[in-house]
């Protein structure tokens, strides 16, 4: 490693850690004051509060690490530019890409850290914070009264994959249920769809406006579908079983979400496309730290005045635009207006291309 690399990385580490700690501290303080009335009212024990906010740390880190590394990059580059150290490096024969290499290396390392934390800690941390918030702070009733779960899916007994757009626990009703029955090799043999499914004590699950499709070994429909106004369907899972299958992508890592999507094969493209957006985003989101550094470097190197405040302002502006594009593209992807891969990666490609273009124009 060059002396200049060590010098720049040493300059970067302090503001990076300072920003991360500050962001985590501010987030916790703001959230604590927002829930203080509930904590005091419900007399939540100190160790529960500590566990709640301890579980929040990995979630905050994943969300704020890109902004922290961007602020650090613009701050350090701004200082180097302000005191003409970049000119001195160029005069010493260093190319622009060699000068900015330590910033890109740090951006890559932060991206790798975000990926590892997002895969290893965030899913369990999200479940812990949700449970503590609902059970201890908000004291939501443990009964199923009024509970509606969206996109519930169960890989049930007898090789049955059961999906429903909604499950209304109080009415014991499945809205738009789909059942896929597979053989031992996981080839779909039968598909059952309905407008509604209701639990009855006498007959179990009864589907209304139901259609039954049979498939051959090539996943082709055999004959005409069988139509029923009302049909009793053999499902071993009872209503309470559906309460334990509220699946959300933030509760799963990449591998778990991929397996979950694979199980939903045959349910419908609209459903799986939404989950594919989240799946691809688990890879694309950690790379923001690297891409946003590349996009921020030209702005820091073209401004000699303004100091830390200007650097923070530029960082906030870039971050808002970046996260805005991410939110819009993901919404379009889940709405079916963009392919899942494009929706998840478009912001990274836009900013990476912009960064490369602007860096290439620097002298």
Helices 96-120 & 122-132 angle (0-180, nearest 10)? 50
> SS3 for 153-182, per residue?
EEEECCCEEEEEEEEECCCCEEECCEEEEE
Task: Say whether pLDDT at 312 is over 90.
Answer: no
Looking at 168-172, 190-194, 196-200, which range is the least confident one? 168-172
pLDDT band at 142 (very low <50, low <70, confident <90, very high): very low
Task: Say whether pLDDT at 105 is over 80.
Answer: yes
Which is higher by pLDDT, 111 or 184? 111
pLDDT band at 235 (very low <50, low <70, confident <90, very high): confident
pLDDT tens-place string over residues 12-66 = 999 999 999 999 999 999 999 988 998 998 889 999 999 999 999 999 999 999 9
Query: Coil, helix or strand for 343?
Result: helix
Rounded Cα distance, 86 and 75, in Å? 14
What DSSP character marks residue 251? Answer: G
Which is higher by pLDDT, 304 or 312? 312
> Closest Cα partner for 211 from 202, 221, 201, 199?
221
What DSSP character marks residue 252? Answer: S
Token pair, residue 315, equals: 């960082």
- Angle made by CA atoms 155, 121, 296, in degrees to the nearest 5: 120
Task: Say whether pLDDT at 203 is over 80.
Answer: yes
CB 184 within 8 A of CB 158: no
pLDDT for position 104: 94
pTM here is: 0.78
- Angle made by CA atoms 335, 340, 341, in degrees to the nearest 5: 150
CA–CA distances in Å: residue 184 to residues 45, 156, 162, 214, 277: 49, 14, 17, 16, 30
pLDDT tens-place string over residues 143-190 = 455 578 877 878 777 778 888 888 888 888 999 999 988 877 767 889
Q: DSSP assignment of 126-143, as one string?
A: HHHHHHHIIIIIS---SS
Looking at 79-88, 195-204, 283-292, which range is the least confident one? 79-88
Q: What are phi and psi of 117, to 5 degrees?
A: -65, -40
pLDDT band at 127 (very low <50, low <70, confident <90, very high): confident
Percentage of the residues of the chain whose pLDDT score is greater than 70: 91
Looking at 60-69, 136-145, 298-307, 354-363, which range is the least confident one? 136-145
CA–CA distances in Å: residue 152 to residues 155, 162, 167, 194, 246: 10, 8, 7, 15, 6
pLDDT for position 275: 87
Average pLDDT in the chain: 87
Domain residue ranges in the chain: 3-135+279-360, 145-242
Annotation: CATH topology of 145-242:
lipopolysaccharide transport protein A fold (2.60.450)
Which is higher by pLDDT, 263 or 346? 346
Task: Say whether pLDDT at 134 is over 90.
Answer: no
Task: Say whether pLDDT at 335 is over 90.
Answer: no
pLDDT band at 242 (very low <50, low <70, confident <90, very high): confident
Q: Which residue has the tokens 């039968």?
A: 190
If you average pLDDT over each of 167-181, 213-227, 312-326, 333-347, which comes out highest? 333-347
CB 179 within 8 A of CB 191: yes
CB 232 within 8 A of CB 206: yes
pLDDT for position 121: 94
Q: Which residue has the tokens 């900013």?
A: 351
Looking at 79-83, 124-128, 137-141, 239-243, which range is the least confident one? 137-141
pLDDT band at 246 (very low <50, low <70, confident <90, very high): low
> Closest Cα partner for 322 from 356, 300, 282, 349?
349
Percentage of the residues of the chain whose pLDDT score is greater than 90: 47
Task: Say whether pLDDT at 140 is over 60.
Answer: no
Q: What is the mean pLDDT of residues 208-212?
A: 94
pLDDT for position 305: 57
């Amino acid at each position: 490693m060059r002396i200049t690399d060590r010098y720049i990385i040493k300059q970067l580490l302090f503001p990076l850690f300072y920003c991360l700690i500050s962001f985590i501290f501010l987030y916790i303080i703001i959230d604590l004051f927002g829930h203080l009335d509930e904590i005091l009212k419900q007399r939540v024990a100190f160790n529960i509060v500590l566990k709640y906010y301890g579980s929040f740390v990995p979630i905050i880190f994943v969300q704020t690490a890109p902004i922290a590394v961007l602020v650090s990059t613009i701050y350090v580059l701004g200082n180097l530019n302000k005191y003409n150290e970049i000119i001195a490096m160029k005069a010493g024969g260093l190319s622009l890409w060699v000068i900015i290499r330590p910033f890109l290396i740090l951006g890559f390392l932060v991206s790798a850290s975000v990926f590892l934390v997002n895969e290893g800690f965030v899913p369990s941390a999200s479940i812990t914070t949700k449970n503590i918030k609902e059970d201890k702070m908000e004291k939501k009733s443990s009964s199923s009264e009024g509970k509606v779960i969206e996109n519930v899916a169960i890989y049930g007994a007898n090789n049955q994959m059961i999906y429903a757009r909604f499950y209304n626990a109080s009415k014991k009703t499945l809205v738009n249920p789909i059942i896929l029955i597979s053989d031992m090799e996981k080839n779909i043999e039968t598909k059952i769809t309905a407008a509604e499914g209701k639990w009855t004590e006498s007959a179990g699950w009864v589907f209304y406006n139901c259609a039954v499709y049979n498939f051959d070994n090539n996943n082709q429909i055999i004959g005409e579908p069988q139509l029923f106004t009302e049909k009793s369907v053999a499902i071993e899972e009872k209503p309470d079983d559906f309460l334990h299958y509220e699946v959300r992508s933030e509760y799963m890592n990449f591998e778990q979400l991929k397996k979950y999507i694979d199980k939903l094969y045959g349910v419908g493209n609209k459903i799986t496309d939404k989950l594919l957006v989240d799946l691809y985003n688990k890879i694309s989101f950690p790379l923001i730290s690297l891409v946003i550094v590349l996009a921020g470097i030209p702005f820091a190197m073209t401004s000699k005045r303004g100091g830390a405040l200007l650097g923070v302002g530029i960082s906030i502006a870039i971050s808002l635009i970046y996260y805005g594009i991410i939110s819009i593209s993901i919404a379009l992807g889940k709405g079916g207006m963009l392919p899942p891969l494009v929706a998840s990666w478009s912001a990274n490609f836009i900013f990476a291309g912009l960064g490369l273009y602007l860096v290439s124009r620097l002298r």
